[in-house]
Structure formats: C-alpha cells, structure tokens
Structure 1
Amino acid sequence: MSYARRIRPVIDRVYVGARWAARARLETFYAERGADLGAESSFFSGLLARPMPADALADGLVYTDGDMSAELAQGVLTVDAEGTWHLTELGRELALFAQRATGEAAEELWSSGPPMLPGLASVPRLAELVGRVLTHGMVTGGPAFHAMTPAYEPADASPAMLLTTRLGSLRHHRADAHRAAWRAAGLTAEQITALPDGPQRVAIEAETDRLDAPAYAVLTENEREELLAGMGALPG
C-alpha cells in the first residue's frame, strides 16, 4: 500500500476529530450572530488568506448540491463578476473563530490521551512536517489545494492551530487527485459516489495514490514514518 493511502485515513481521523470537538462552540458563536455554519467554516484555512476562485469552490463542493444561497443571504460571503468568492466582515469574524476554536478543541483533545503517548509534545514537529508537505505539494496540487494553500496562519497561532489548519489544507491535495482520477475515467461525482468495489474503483484509487504521492516526496522515509506514527498517536 502506498504511503499516500496509508496516511490519508490518519489525517482524516485527526482533522475530523478536532472539527467535531469544536462543533458545539462554533454553533453557539454562530447562533449569537444569526448565522449557520457554512463554507467559511470548512474552507477557513484558504478563505482567510485569499478569495476562492469559482472552480476551486465548485470542486470543494462537488459531492454536495453546491448551494451557496445561505452564505450569500446571511452576508457571510460575496461573489464577484468572475465567480470568485470573498469573505465579508462577518464572514471573516466567523472564519477566524472557526480556525481558533478548532485549534483550541484539538489542544484539549490531544491533552486527554494516556500519559505514555507524546500528545501535545509531538504537535510542533508534526506541524513542521505537514508544513513542508504543503509547500512541496504546490507543484502537483489542483484547484482546491491551491485555493487552500498556503494556509492562513496568524502570528499568535498555537502549534495545535497550525497543525489543524495545515491538515485542513493538505486534505485537498488528495481530494484534487481523486477528482482528477475519476474524471479521467469519464465519471461524474454521482457515478463515483455510487461506484461499487471492483476493478474500476481499484484503478481509480491507484491513480489517486499516484497523483497524491508526490507531495510527500519532500520527506525522508524516516520522516514519513515519523509523521504517520505521530499522527496515529494523537487522540481523536
């Protein structure tokens, strides 16, 4: 099994675990401002740094109905004549809170593990390794990855915030690779979602691995194993 495939579920577990741990505080903050969680809470690592092009957002939402009417109606995002999406003042406030709350929730979560695991002590090194992968991935990433990278990182960001933010961007490297693989096979989003296990899915997943793998080539073999083991040891 390729390294890209081995580490992807680990990345997803750690990132999604942090996001779920932050969800209650996000819902409270949003409710106080009369807003619902939307694209700004999912794509904050990119949107806080730059406007999001139409093709990148369309790819990021390809498995959904892509409806952005709530974000527009609530004044969270605006879209210009080219189809590029911009945070409003309210949208930026919400996205900044989503980023900070996710980092805080992750720090709490990763402090709760058994004492024999490194927990938070490993997070600065993991954030550094992921940062290098992000930079190297700029060569091979697709539209969504480039919209999300470099990630927005405030000067006072904690190691936990850096890691969660960078993971939020890194996940789009493989997502772009997967979309490229099933599109090259002539499939639509609906068709790949419904595609059963079999030779065609195996081929698409193998192509996804091939396209995703170059991002990790910047790390030595020992560093790749360090990243995999360190991420795997984080509670989530």
Structure 2
Amino acid sequence: MNTVELAPHRFAGLVAPAVDRAFVAGMLAGRDGGGAELSQRYGGPAATGFLVEFRTRLAAPGGTVDGPGFAAVTRYRDPATCQRALDKQVAHGMIHRRPDGGLSATDRGAAFLAEIYQVHAEVTEELWAGHDDRVLRLVASLGRLLAYALVLAEEEGDAAGSAFTAMAPPYEPDGTPPGVLLLNRLGTLRYHRADAHAAAWAAAGHTAASASDLPDGPERLAIELETDRRAAGPYAALGAEERLTMLADLAALPG
C-alpha cells in the first residue's frame, strides 16, 4: 500500500469498517460484561436506551443533545417511534426533556451513565489487554481527528442538524481509562461518517428510507464514493504513515 492509496478520501473508505468493527466489539463486550444487567437495574432498555446511545454527551455535567441533533442521530428510524421511546425514558425518570426540545440526563440518568462508564472501563481493559501501545496510539490519533473535524464543521457551518456535532466532543472526565477513551472516540468518529453518508445520499436525491433500500450497484457505489470524499476532511490531520499505522492498529485489536 503506497501513500497515493492512503490519500484522505481513500483512507476514509478503508478505515470505516475497521472503526466499526472495533467499536461494535467494545459495545458488545459492554453489554455482555455487565451492561445488560446494569440496564435492568434501572428499568431495562425502555428506560436506558437513549442514555446509552447518547452517553458521551449526556454524561457530561449539563450535557444536552438538541432536537436537530437527536433527529440526525436517529435519522434512519421512525420519528414517532423514537418520540414514544423517549417519552418512556422521561417517564422512567432517566431523561429530562427541555422546553427547547433538547435532552439532558436526570440525576438518576447521570448515575446510570457513571456506572456505564465503569462497565466500559472494565470490559475494554479485558478486551484489549496486551495492546496498550496500540490503544494509546489510537486514542491520540482519534483525538486529533475529532478536534480537526470539529474545526472543519465550525468553518463550514455544518453544526445544525449534524449527528457529529450533537455527539462531539465525547465527555472524558479526568482519569478516564484509555479503553473508554478509545471506545467513545471511535463512536463519535462514526457519526462524522454518518453525516457524510447522509449528505451524499441527499445530494443524489434520496431520503433515509430510499437510501437504505438501494440495492448493490452503480448508484450505491457512487454514494459510497461520495461519502468517502465528504468524510475525508479530518484525515488530513494525519500524515500518510500515521494513517497506515492507524489502520494496522485497528486491524490488530481483538474483537
């Protein structure tokens, strides 16, 4: 693989499945390693679902997700169904719906999120044991990518209705273990690509539903290539060698 193949737009396409794999492995480990049991103590998924999904913003003191950000993150789901699910979590006393349509965690919700962070600390330490150097390199690279992506979003005026800016930067209190930093930075970066994908299918005249139903073929491929182009910006923050190292580190992580 040479540096031409690691141009940012090409790298965006190569790294996306590696990011997905590592993130999903961490989240599944969290669910199986105590997260599901923890959720049940607080009322089950009907009480905790959106807290887990929006944890990296709602765990922050005073952290909120606004209405457009919520809609962007849930863009592939039925809005009425999402609102009914949200109503249940409000009724369980886990989420507070603000007058402006934004969401924040209640005290009970915040207590749950603190425990979720602890579960994720334990399971990622076990999942990625023996890969300390890789984890630390990835945490550093992802930190640079997310910071640059936020700068680009501000410069381009892409904040409104963006899943990425609704979720970034992830909440990282002092002492957050490297495994949790990695898990949550991977998750936040995925929202940047999700926005790029939505912009690509919208530019091609699609809705969330019609884009999801597209069969494999030239049109889907064109949207994926346009997604790579739109998702490429933050990767300019890394040199070609750093991009290759990031890809290798992600590929080497267990999960």
Q: Same fold (TM over 0.5)?
A: yes
Shift of 1:28: 1.0
What does 1:97-116 align with in structure 2 at a 5 Å threshold? Answer: 97-111=115-129
- Which residue of structure 1 lines up, in the alignment, with residue 107 of structure 2? 89
State the match for 1:203 in structure 2. 222
> Matches of 1:185 and 1:71 in 2, distance apart?
36
Map Cα deviations across residues 172-206 of structure 1 (whole Å, 9 max, x no partner).
10011111111222211111111111222112111
Name the stretch that deviates more: 73-82 or 166-175: 73-82
Counterparts of 1:1-236 in structure 2 under 5 Å?
Answer: 2-24=10-32, 25-36=34-45, 37-49=48-60, 50-65=63-78, 66-67=82-83, 68-111=86-129, 119-141=131-153, 142=158, 143-236=162-255
* Alpha-carbon distance in structure 1 between the residues aligned to 2:121 and 2:190: 17
Query: How many Å apart are 1:133 and its aligned residue?
Result: 0.3
Q: 2:116, 2:220 → 1: CA distance?
A: 35
Give the % identical residues. Answer: 38
* Equivalent position amino acid for 1:121 in 2: D
Worse overlay, 49-58 or 118-127: 118-127
Q: Is the 8 A contact 1:44 1:96 kept in 2?
A: no
Using the TM superposition, give the Cα deviation of residue 145 of structure 1 relative to its aligned residue in structure 2, in angstroms: 0.7
Deviates more, 1:16-25 or 1:136-145: 136-145
In structure 2, list runs of 5 or more residues that go unmatched: none
Q: Offset at 1:120?
A: 2.4
Superposed CA deviations along residues 8-42 of structure 1, whole A, max 9, x for unmatched, are: 11011101101001103111112122242411101
**Structure 1, gaps ≥5 residues long:** 112-117
Alignment size in residue pairs: 230
SS at the partner of 1:154? coil
What is the letter of the counterpart of residue 28 of structure 2? Answer: W
> What TM-score results when the alignment is normalised by the length of structure 2?
0.85
Cα-Cα RMSD: 1.5
- In structure 1, how many angstroms separate the alpha carbons of the residues matched to 2:191 and 2:121? 19
Kept in 2: contact 1:76–1:88 (CA 8 A): yes
In the TM superposition, residue 99 of structure 1 has moved relative to its aligned partner by 2.6
Question: How far does the alpha carbon of each residue in 1:148-191 deviate from its partner, in whole angstroms, 9 at most, with x for none?
Answer: 11110011111111111111111110011111111222211111
Instruction: Determine the C-alpha separation between the residues in 2 that align with 1:140 and 1:9.
Output: 23
Whole-Å Cα distance in 2 between the matches of residues 33 and 79 of structure 1? 18
